[in-house]
């Protein structure tokens, strides 16, 4: 992978995950997709550098989005996590840096991503260091 911020998108609904990943890639971010919390945890444990995690809450598998958020924060406390849900109130995602209620439009989460980790590094004319 080239330079630029890496975003892990954890979402079990394939169309939602693909749309979110495509929008982020079009902006210039690098995206790793995971179909559930277990896959997301595998990515976080793999040593792959991840700048931001975006996770749904209700997913199949042993690890839901709330648990994934807690574990992601244990691994790298300063790494931002965005929790998205159509079922839970924002207070349920107390470990997250941001909470987005489903349904949402791409511009909504792009603003939150930009606020948390900044604009994509490799998208001209911006320069990123570090």
Check which CATH number belongs to the domain holding 71 and give it.
3.40.50.2300
- Tell me how long the chain is: 130
88: confidence class by pLDDT, cuts 50, 70, 90: confident
Which residue's entry shows tokens 């995690």? 53
The half-sphere exposure of 85 on its side-chain side, counting CA atoms within 13 A, is 17
Task: Answer yes or no: is 123 within a domain.
Answer: no
Task: Answer yes or no: is 129 within a domain.
Answer: no
Which residue's entry shows tokens 């570090």? 130
How many independent structural domains does the chain possess? Answer: 1
Task: Answer yes or no: is 22 within a domain.
Answer: yes
Q: Tell me the C-alpha distance between 38 and 76, whole Å.
A: 17
- Over residues 54-65, the pLDDT tens digits come to 999 999 999 999
Task: Answer yes or no: is 39 within a domain.
Answer: yes
* Of 121, 69, 63, nearest in space to 100 by CA: 69
Q: Tell me the C-alpha distance between 105 and 83, whole Å.
A: 15
Query: Residue 127 has what pLDDT?
Result: 47
Tell me if the pTM is above 0.85. yes
- Over residues 47-87, the pLDDT tens digits come to 999 999 999 999 999 999 999 999 999 999 999 999 999 88
Task: Answer yes or no: is 38 within a domain.
Answer: yes
């Amino acid at each position: 992978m080239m330079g630029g911020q890496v975003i892990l998108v954890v979402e079990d609904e394939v169309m939602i995950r693909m749309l979110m990943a495509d929008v982020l890639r079009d902006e210039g971010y690098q995206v790793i997709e995971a179909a559930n919390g277990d896959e997301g945890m595998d990515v976080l444990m793999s040593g792959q550098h991840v700048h931001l995690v975006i996770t749904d809450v209700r997913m199949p598998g042993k690890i839901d989005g709330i648990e994934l958020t807690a574990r992601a924060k244990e691994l790298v406390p300063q790494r931002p996590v965005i929790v998205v849900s159509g079922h839970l109130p924002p207070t349920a995602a107390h470990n997250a840096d941001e909470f987005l209620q489903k349904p949402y439009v791409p511009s909504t989460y792009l603003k939150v991503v930009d606020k948390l980790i900044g604009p994509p590094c490799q998208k001209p004319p911006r320069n990123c260091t570090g």
